[in-house]
Amino acid sequence: MILGPLFLLGLYFLPLWNIMLGAPQYPEPLGMNIHINGIRGVSEFDIQNIDGLNHYIGMRTLPKDEDMWEFSAFPLIVGGMIALGVLVGLLGYSNKLTYKWFIGWFLLMSVLGVLGMYDFNNWMVDYGTNLDPNAIMKLENPDGTPMTYKPPLFGHVKMLNFDVTSLPAPGAWMMFVGMSLTLAAGYLGWKSSRITPDVEISARLV
């Protein structure tokens, strides 16, 4: 339970999510990495070039770090959760807290994670559909509705000439590993409460 939350430290230097945009004339795709504190280009000028392309279809420029409250709040929330998790782990190690706290931390983290994804998805909906009415290119779907450009939360879609792929990035994978470890800790703790002390010690460590 001590080790698990520490995996979340990865979020401070590794991206949480990655969106790649490839097209025939972009054999080296453009890409953005979403970090908990802002959006960065995969290559140095990708953000500028994505904004340059998006202006044709009336999308706003990608938010700077200071443009979204999330980018200042997320680092604090993640930091709080790491501190809380380590504290719970330490107290669990000295038998002051039970495994139920481990599971409690996991559930709280999961709820926050889902809320984060929900928030992220809302932003993408807004970013991809709230378009400049004077956009250079106003395209319609086959059914006559205006075409929108929300990137996928997960997986691949074809958007005009671009193949857009959105997937969790190494920061998220580290978070998943960390969270799995805390879940495992909870499980082992639950088991040990019924069987042997060996398992209990490993649960606290994990």
Partner 1 sequence: MKRFAFKIGILLSGMALLFSGCNQGGKSANNGALSSSAAEKVYVAPGEQDAYYAFLSGGYSGNLTVYGLPSGRMFKEIPVFSQFPTSGYGYSEETKPLLNTSHGFIPWDDLHHPDISQTNGELDGRWIFVNGNNTPRIARISLSTFETEEIIEVPNSAGNHSSSFITENTEYVVAGTRFSVPVPQRDMPIKEYKGNFKGALTFISVEPEHGHMEIEFQVIMPGFNYDLSHPGRGKSHGWFFFSTYNTEEASSLLEVNASQNDKDFIAAINWQKIEEYVKNGGGTRVPANYAHNVYDESTHMATSTMKKEVLTVDPTEVPGAVYLLPTPKSPHGCDVDPSGQYIIGSGKLSADITVHSFDNMLAAIEGGQFDGEAYGIPILKFEEVLAGTVKSGGLGPLHTEFDGNGNAYTTFFISSEVVKWQLGSWEVVDRKPTFYSVGHLMIPGGNSRKPFGKYLVAMNKITKDRYLPTGPEMEHSAQIYDISGEKMELIYDFPTHGEPHYAAGCPADLLKPNSKKIYRLDENNHPYGIKSPADARVERDGKDVHIYMSTIRSHFTPDNIEGVKVGDRVYFHVTNHEQDFDVPHGFAAIGANTSEILVMPGQTKTIIWEPKQVGVWPFYCTDFCSALHQEMQGYIRVSAANSNMELSWSVGD
Residues lying near partner 1 in the complex (CB under 8 A): 28, 44-45, 48-49, 52, 56, 136-137
Smallest distance from partner 1 to CB 52, Å: 6
- Of 88, 126, 124, the closest CA to residue 108 belongs to 88
User: What b/e sequence results for 32-61 when a residue is b if at least 16 CB atoms lie within 10 Å of its CB, and e otherwise?
Assistant: bbbbbbbbebbeeebbeebeebbeebbbee
Terminal alpha carbon distance of the chain = 5
- By beta-carbon proximity to partner 1, the closer residue of 64 and 96 is 64
CA distance 178 to 11: 11
Q: Least separation, in Å, of the C-beta of 44 and partner 1?
A: 8
Nearest by Cα to 139 from 68, 59, 202, 49: 59
User: Shortest gap between Cβ of 182 and partner 1 (angstroms)?
Assistant: 43
In the complex with partner 1, which residue's Cβ is closer, 55 or 191? 55
Minimal distance, residue 132 CB to partner 1, in Å: 13
Nearer to partner 1, 94 or 136 (CB): 136
Question: What's the rounded Cα separation, in Å, for the pair 2 and 119?
Answer: 28
CB of 14 to partner 1, least distance (A): 25
Let me know how long the chain is: 206
